[in-house]
Amino acid sequence: MARLDLEAEDNLAARKMATRLDVIRRIVVVIGAFITLAAALTIIPGVRQIGVSLFASAGIAGIALGLAARPVLSNLIAGLQIAFTQPIRLDDAVVVENEWGWIEEIGLFYVVIKIWDWRRLVVPLSYFIEKPFQNWTRKSASIIGVVTWTVDYRAPVKAMRAKLEEICASTPLWDKDVVNFQVVEAAGNSITVRALASARTSPRAWDLRCYIREEMICWLQAEFPEALPHVRAETTIRRSQDGETAAPMGVEEHDFTRDDSLNKNPGAK
């Protein structure tokens, strides 16, 4: 494993081999320890007699021990499955139990996931065989980042599309593969637009999303402030019988620009 370069950007092959070797090594160690113990029970005369007595008196205790050992055996079998089928690998970006992070360690009975805020999530190996989860780097480390905004109907959609391409071209975070801009919803007083941009790795995709979001907001604030979300209200004017205008009923028209909805952070190494 010392020769495997896990720090390279395209490290898929290295991570496959490192995962397989690591899991197999741990299983071999356990099997070797079990064989050594079994050999001691059969070779050493005094110990052999103890072993025979234990097996003879196992009975219900043996059944209880077997039931207690089920989680251990299931995790050992899951370890073999993971070593060869590899639903997860070291350094894979995954979403488990609504937590996003990287596979940091694959133990004999558990997996350690390094969450984006440096917390650790410890999950039994059998979890990855029995339950669904997201693996963002199963085939490739490349990933598409998504950024959405809620804007006013007066937003310059075509200009925003051109600005997105300009923003992506200005940063090395973009891998020059995918860039797209779409209006995905129009309802009520606003529309929802979405930007897609690809990056070589999930950490770079996260940074790219944040960069696009910030640059687009700053550009809209400076060039098209009317495109930011607004709250509108109608005013009803009541006229008296003599034709004079009375006090307005209801509320006056307001035009509040709200940046907080655009600055919302949708989600992170």
Among candidates 136, 122, 181, 131, which has minimal Cα distance to 155? 181
Strand (E) or helix (H) holding 3: none
**Residue 216 pLDDT:** 98
CATH code, domain carrying 226 = 3.30.70.100
Q: What is the mean pLDDT of each run of 10 residues along the chain (269 residues)?
A: 54 68 75 71 64 54 57 76 84 92 88 94 91 89 93 96 97 96 93 96 92 97 92 69 55 46 45
- Could you tell me if 47 and 41 are in contact, meaning their C-beta atoms sit under 8 angstroms apart? yes
Spell out a b/e string for 235-255, using b for 16 or more CB atoms within 10 Å of the CB, else e.
eeeeeeeeeeeeeeeeeeeee
What is the pLDDT, as a whole number, of residue 227? 94
> Within this chain, do residues 21 and 113 fall inside the same structural domain, yes or no?
yes
Q: Is 87 exposed, middle or buried (0-12, 13-18, 19+ CB in 10 A)?
A: middle
pLDDT at res. 262: 42
93 and 162 part of one domain:
no
Which residue, of 115, 135, 155, is where some domain finishes?
A: 135
Asked if the structure places residue 172 within a domain, the reply is: yes
Does 121 share its domain with 26? Answer: yes
My answer on whether 130 and 160 are in the same domain is: no
- Is 1 within a domain? no
CA angle 228, 226, 166 (to 5 degrees): 70
Q: Which domain holds residue 72?
A: 12-135
In this structure, are 29 and 131 located in the same domain?
yes
How many structural domains are present in the chain? 2
Say if 166 falls within a structural domain: yes
Q: What is the CATH number of the domain that holds 129?
A: 2.30.30.60
pLDDT of 75: 74
Q: Are residues 115 and 168 in the same domain?
A: no
Report yes or no on 181 lying in a domain: yes
Same domain (yes/no): 58, 129: yes
pLDDT score recorded for residue 83? 78
129 & 178 share domain = no
Q: Is residue 244 part of a domain?
A: no
Q: Is residue 255 part of a domain?
A: no
Examine the domain organization and report whether 125 and 177 are in the same domain.
no
Same domain, 103 and 178: no
Say yes or no: 101 and 148 in one domain.
Answer: no
The verdict on 126 and 166 lying in the same domain is no
Does the residue 248 lie in any domain?
no
Please name the residue ranges forming H helices in 44-177: 45-56, 59-68, 70-85, 127-130, 157-169
258 inside domain: no
